[in-house]
């Protein structure tokens, strides 16, 4: 008597492993994209803060020069 059940189970296991590996790869790519996006946003935020700080300091400086320079 021949038992064909184990071969079907093995095929299902192999197919599930392949799909698991594919999903794992896709998830790592998505994580890398998200990490890069966060880094880029942090970089942009720091640049915006620097520009705001420089503009506030320059406005204060020119205001002081104008008021006390005369």
In whole angstroms, give the CA distance from residue 40 to residue 34: 10
Global confidence as pTM: 0.52
Q: What is the pLDDT of residue 60?
A: 95
Q: What is the pLDDT of residue 57?
A: 97
Asked whether residue 62 is assigned to any structural domain, the reply reads yes
Asked whether residue 22 is assigned to any structural domain, the reply reads no
Asked whether residue 26 is assigned to any structural domain, the reply reads no
Kindly state the average pLDDT of the residues 40-60: 97
Asked whether residue 55 is assigned to any structural domain, the reply reads yes
Residue 45, pLDDT > 80, answer yes
Asked whether residue 46 is assigned to any structural domain, the reply reads yes
Number of domains in the chain: 1
Asked whether residue 1 is assigned to any structural domain, the reply reads no
Asked whether residue 20 is assigned to any structural domain, the reply reads no
Asked whether residue 30 is assigned to any structural domain, the reply reads no
């Amino acid at each position: 008597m021949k038992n064909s059940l184990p071969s079907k189970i093995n095929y299902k296991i192999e197919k599930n492993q392949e799909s698991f590996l594919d999903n794992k790869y896709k998830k790592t790519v998505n994580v890398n994209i998200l990490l890069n996006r966060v880094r880029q946003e942090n970089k942009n935020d720091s640049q915006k803060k620097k520009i705001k700080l420089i503009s506030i300091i320059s406005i204060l400086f020119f205001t002081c020069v104008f008021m006390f320079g005369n």
